[in-house]
Amino acid sequence: TVRIVDPDEWRHGEAKGVCQSRSVQDLTPLVEVKDRSNRADLASTIIHEYAHAILHFDITDATERAKREVEAEAVAYVVGRYLGLDTSGSAFYLAAWQGDETDVLQERLGRISGTAEEILSTLDAV
């Protein structure tokens, strides 16, 4: 489920978006993004948070947080480029990959590629 939240109702501080469970009874991910006039940036944030819902929803290991952010942002970058969105804001996140081992990078790239394909095929079907 994706909700675009009015800035006056936003309860997540400086974050542009969040992915969380809806309730204890219903563990379906809920993506919330703070509404803004820049629709391309809004779309990129939705894609980023939706990637978290697909890739990381059941992961609770806090030590992996930075790497999960990189994966979600890389998916947003790939999908955003495909859709013709300005993806220049992704550079900060993606720079965090510097120093990762080759086998770790290949594993992450496989997840990123598969998730981007899943989102794009869903969008193409609409």
pLDDT by residue (tens digit) across 56-78? 877 777 777 777 888 898 899 99
Is pTM beyond 0.75? Reply is yes
Q: Which residues contact 100 (CB under 8 A, 6 or more apart)?
A: 67, 108
Q: Give percent above pLDDT 70 in the chain.
A: 85
End-to-end CA distance of the chain: 16
Question: Residue 126 has what DSSP assignment?
Answer: -
Cα 73–Cα 17–Cα 13 angle in degrees, nearest 5: 125
Cα distances (Å, whole numbers) of residue 68 to 30, 35, 61, 62, 71: 17, 23, 10, 10, 5
Give the pLDDT confidence score for residue 21 in this predicted structure.
73
pLDDT at 1: 86
